[in-house]
Amino acid sequence: MKTEPTNQYMFLVRGPCKQGYSPEQMQAHMIEVYAWIDSLTKQGIFSAAQPLTPEGKVVSGGNGISVTDGVFAESKEAVGGFFILNVQTMDEAVKIACDSPMVKRGGQLEVRHIAELKRE
Amino acid sequence: MSQQSASAHEVAGHFFRHEGAKVVAALTAHLGAHRLQLAEDVVQEALLRALQTWSYHGVPDNPAAWLTQVAKNLAINALQREQRWNEKQDGIATERERWLSTPADDVTHETFADDTLRMMFVCFHPELAAEAQTALALRTLCGFSPAEIATAFLTSEAAIAKRLVRARQRIRELALPFAVPEPTELSSRLSGVLHTLYLLFNEGYKASSGDRLVREDLCHEAIRLVALLTEHPATREPRAFALLALMLLNAARLSARTDDAGNLLRLHEQDRTDWDHAMIQRGIASLHLAAQGFTLSVYHIEASIAATHCTAPDASATNWPRILLLYDQLLALTGSPVTAMNRAVAVARVHGAQLGLDALDGIKQRTSLESYHLYHAIRGAFAAELGQVAAALTSFRQAENLATLPAERDFIARRIEECGGTKA
């Protein structure tokens, strides 16, 4: 059993979630994201995407088990969702991330290569 | 994910702005006008969550219900954080809690229309200053951000934010009810609402400065709100239809007022095929509906003047005698020097430039016009028509000094050049 890199990359999305966004700007941003996804879909790059709700709990072990409310809704550090894209190289993935409307509007994408578990 | 394009289509227009505003009205209806700020805050947060969720998977089946539900949940959370929520479980609090916990898909169009109308009577309350009324209306009824309102009024975002805070505070202090006024009061209150919407429209319609799209947005929002008044049984009065007609018949010509370089064009220079003829038809239809009843408002007359321009196939076919007659009526109603000045233009078109000049000289409160660039520009145009080049140049130079906007100054500079003068 060994892990091997796949041809899939995951984008973890943080922001942009500026409080000062006007409804009009929000709508404009959403349309931009749709256009971006459409173009990735046409190129066969798009694989999946899912948002995460801001509510959540943090469950920690160690000195007993603690369950706390996350501060997800307020935190800019919180992951708002993810994309999975079919891309061959990290360079290509980074280039796509740079062109994304999220980054252009000041958000952040964490680009990770998805590992695959192979049984032989 | 194949639904993405279809979803994007569903949120066309100003969906976020207008759906957000509807939810603010619905929440305020149940929480009370004193909690306007809370309603605005949770709706802003709900819209942000919509952006974050819908960006991945497309818009839900009933996006309006989705927004309302999320805003309601956020409102419950916020209220539960307030201690009073648990202490005072009186009838009102229980009813409010019941509504907040009910699924949001039961909201009808009629309920939204009622809530929006009530919100209009709060925003346009005579106890609020006129500038506070328009800022509040743009924020709560139209979903503009303070920054967008600031751009429209050429002021700072901080100034608008302060204006909004004061307005909401005033609503709390006066304990303004979230209600349509009683029948005895309705007529005079409606006058105030219509007048403020008229001012809002004019703010957008004023000669082009700043962002043209933002200004056109103001006009279209004013039209949307007046249209709501004409659709609601409590307020569908002839004068509301007249104001709607007036706005439509002027807005239809907005895009033809400037050429591609942004230069202001006079009526006879405009390309009439650029006018929005569907909007003109809507305006004429609205003017017909306004004719039912016995009252003749300022809006009726101004709309009729606009209709006369809109229905002329070209500038030379304009029915100026009719326009002059309408200005006579308007002047009798308003007595305003600006109306008298505009009337003088119609006089000149019917009886010649000399009588136009005489009409200007005959305006009683003429001193109040002396600081208005258009007054001098009109004088200059009349003088130029009569071949009095020196007098025309003097007037145009005065107009040029008084004009504040670049587009206005350029316009007058072109008139000076036509007279053979050079740029100052």
Mean pLDDT of chain A: 86
Q: What percent of chain B has pLDDT over 90?
A: 62
> Which of 16-75 (A) contact B at CB < 8 A?
17, 19-27, 29-31, 33-35, 37-38, 41, 46, 48-51, 53-54
Nearest CA of chain A to the CA of B144: how many Å? 7
Q: Flag if B55 and A33 touch (Cβ within 8 Å).
A: yes
Higher pLDDT, B299 or B78: B299
CB B384 within 8 A of CB B414: no
For residue A47, give the chain B residue with the closest CA.
Answer: B1
Residue B12 clears pLDDT 70, i.e. is over it: yes
- β pairing state of A46-51 and A2-14: unpaired
Higher pLDDT, B19 or B85: B19
CA–CA distance, B331 with B306 (Å, rounded to integer): 16
Higher pLDDT, B242 or A74: B242
pLDDT bucket at A1, cuts 50 / 70 / 90: very low
pLDDT of residue B83: 56
Phi, then psi, of B410 in degrees rounded to 5: -60, -40
CB B154 within 8 A of CB B204: no
Higher pLDDT, B244 or B217: B244
Nearest CA of chain A to the CA of B188: how many Å? 33
pLDDT of residue A63: 83
CB B105 within 8 A of CB B62: yes
Q: How remote is the C-alpha of A87 from its chain's centroid?
A: 15
Q: Flag if A48 and B20 touch (Cβ within 8 Å).
A: no
Nearest CA of chain B to the CA of A41: how many Å? 9
For residue A46, give the chain B residue with the closest CA.
Answer: B1
pLDDT of residue B107: 61
Mean pLDDT of chain B: 88
pLDDT of residue A74: 60
When pLDDT is averaged across residues A18-23 and rounded to a whole number, the result is 79
pLDDT of residue B424: 47
pLDDT of residue B4: 44
Prior bond to B177 cis, omega within 30?
no
When pLDDT is averaged across residues B33-39 and rounded to a whole number, the result is 92
Which alpha helices (DSSP H) does B102-138 contain, by range? 109-123, 130-136
Residue A73 clears pLDDT 60, i.e. is over it: no
Q: Flag if B56 and A23 touch (Cβ within 8 Å).
A: no
Residue whose structure tokens are 């136009």: B356
Which of B108-137 are b and which e, b meaning 16 or more Cβ less than 10 Å from the residue's Cβ? eeeebbbbbbbbbbbbbbeebeebbbbbbb
- Please, what is the end-to-end C-alpha distance for chain B in angstroms? 62
pLDDT bucket at B210, cuts 50 / 70 / 90: low
When pLDDT is averaged across residues B189-211 and rounded to a whole number, the result is 84
When pLDDT is averaged across residues A88-94 and rounded to a whole number, the result is 95
CA angle B270, B376, B418 (to 5 degrees): 55
pLDDT of residue B312: 94
Range of lowest pLDDT (A101-115, B75-89, B348-362): B75-89
When pLDDT is averaged across residues A92-105 and rounded to a whole number, the result is 94
Residues of A in contact with B143 (CB under 8 A): 22-24
- The residues, ordered by sequence, that sit 6+ positions from B81 with a Cβ below 8 Å of its Cβ are none
The ipTM, to two decimals, is 0.84
- Nearest Cα to B204, choosing from B251, B169, B137, B136? B251
pLDDT in tens, A23-38: 999 999 999 999 999 9
When pLDDT is averaged across residues B24-32 and rounded to a whole number, the result is 91
Q: Flag if B56 and A50 touch (Cβ within 8 Å).
A: yes
pLDDT in tens, B285-328: 999 999 987 788 999 999 999 999 999 999 999 999 999 999 99
For residue B14, give the chain A residue with the closest CA.
Answer: A24
Q: How remote is the C-alpha of B254 from its chain's centroid?
A: 13
pLDDT of residue B10: 65
Q: Which of B2, B8, B47 sits opposite A26 (nearest CB)?
A: B47
Q: Which of B4, B17, B52 sits opposite A51 (nearest CB)?
A: B52
When pLDDT is averaged across residues B212-229 and rounded to a whole number, the result is 89
Phi, then psi, of B270 in degrees rounded to 5: -75, 145
When pLDDT is averaged across residues B97-113 and rounded to a whole number, the result is 71
Higher pLDDT, A37 or B423: A37
Structure tokens at B167: 């307005």
Q: What percent of chain B has pLDDT over 70?
A: 91
pLDDT in tens, B119-154: 999 999 999 998 899 999 999 999 999 988 988 887
pTM over 0.90: no
Strand partners, A59: A67
pLDDT in tens, B381-391: 999 999 999 99
When pLDDT is averaged across residues B156-177 and rounded to a whole number, the result is 93
